[in-house]
Structure 1
Amino acid sequence: MTPRLDWLARQMQYSNTFASWIHQQFHYEYAGQPLPDWQREFAEGQDNGDWKCLIALDHDELLGGAALARADLAHRPDLGPWLACVFVTPQARGKGLAERLIEGICAQAKASGETRIYLHTQDQSDYYARRGWVMLERFRAWDKDQWLMARDL
């Protein structure tokens, strides 16, 4: 069965789990933010639009998600919205699920009247470039080289 996509705002029982996955996966970005604080911010972001998250479910099992973020890079407050928090569980990878989530976020941004969406990544620039994202610049953050990328909607 193909996993179904839904907005986390309608499935809030998964919010803390997904937020903890993101906190762990991108630990360098959250070094100064304790997990409970991030979980609260992420949950509130489902209502206030800061972290509008699309999740993938197989029956009642959470497989991953992606967020449409209002702001995701402190040194570039001029840019947005952002594709952020892209994560798929290891057992669900390799089946196109991340791509479905990313396309869902892009479709939501476009439906909201946006004409461009941004992301930053340290190690997935080739993945995104193959899917129509353009590299804008390289920068260093969290002691790591990063790519700033954009996609016209």
Structure 2
Amino acid sequence: MSPRLEWLIDHPQHSDTYAEWIHRQFAYEYAEQPLAEWQREFAAGQSNGEWPCLIALEGDQLLGGAALARADLALRPDLGPWLACVFVSPEARGQGLAERLIEGISQAAKQRGFARFYLHTQNKQDYYARRGWTLLERFRAWDNDQWLMIREL
């Protein structure tokens, strides 16, 4: 049975866990923000439109997720929305789950009337390029090279 995709707002018991996974995975982005503060922001973001997150569940086990963020790059407040917080737990990788989550977020963005959306990554640019994303620009942040990418919907 393949994992099902649901909105995190309908499963609030998983919010703190998912926020912790993201805080750990992208630690360089959260250096200035304590975990508890991010967990509060992320939980609030499920209802205020800032971080609506689609999650993958098998039974009641959380496997991964992806968010449609209103703002995800302080350097570019002019852009949005964003594909953000993409993460699949190590034991659930290799089944195309990230791809399903990304497509789910793409559909959600399209249904909300957006013509395009954005992402930034520091090492997954090839993965996204193979899936229809194009490079908008490269920039430096968090002491590293970053890729700003765009996808038409």
Q: Same fold (TM over 0.5)?
A: yes
Q: TM-score range by the shorter chain?
A: over 0.9
CA distance in 2, matches of 1:144, 1:70: 23
Matches within 5 A, 1:93-132: 93-132=93-132
CA distance in 1, matches of 2:89, 2:135: 26
Name the SS of the counterpart of 2:139 in structure 1: strand
- 1:34 is aligned to 2:21: no
CA distance in 2, matches of 1:20, 1:91: 17
Please name the residue that 1:46 is paired with. Answer: 46
Please name the residue that 1:79 is paired with. Answer: 79
TM-score (norm 1): 1.00
Q: Structure 1: where are the runs of 5+ without partners?
A: none
State the one-letter code of the partner of 1:12: P
CA distance in 2, matches of 1:123, 1:66: 17
Please name the residue that 1:136 is paired with. Answer: 136
Please name the residue that 2:22 is paired with. Answer: 22
Q: Structure 2: where are the runs of 5+ without partners?
A: none
The CA RMSD measured in Å over matched residues stands at 0.3
Please name the residue that 2:5 is paired with. Answer: 5
CA distance in 2, matches of 1:150, 1:13: 32
Alignment coverage as a number of residue pairs:
153
Structure 1 segments, 4+ long, off by >6 Å, are none
Percent identity over the alignment is 73
CA distance in 2, matches of 1:144, 1:105: 27
CA distance in 2, matches of 1:109, 1:117: 8
CA distance in 1, matches of 2:114, 2:136: 18
CA distance in 1, matches of 2:63, 2:47: 22
State the one-letter code of the partner of 1:77: P
CA distance in 1, matches of 2:86, 2:117: 14
Query: 1:123: how far off?
Result: 0.4
Name the SS of the counterpart of 1:51 in structure 2: coil
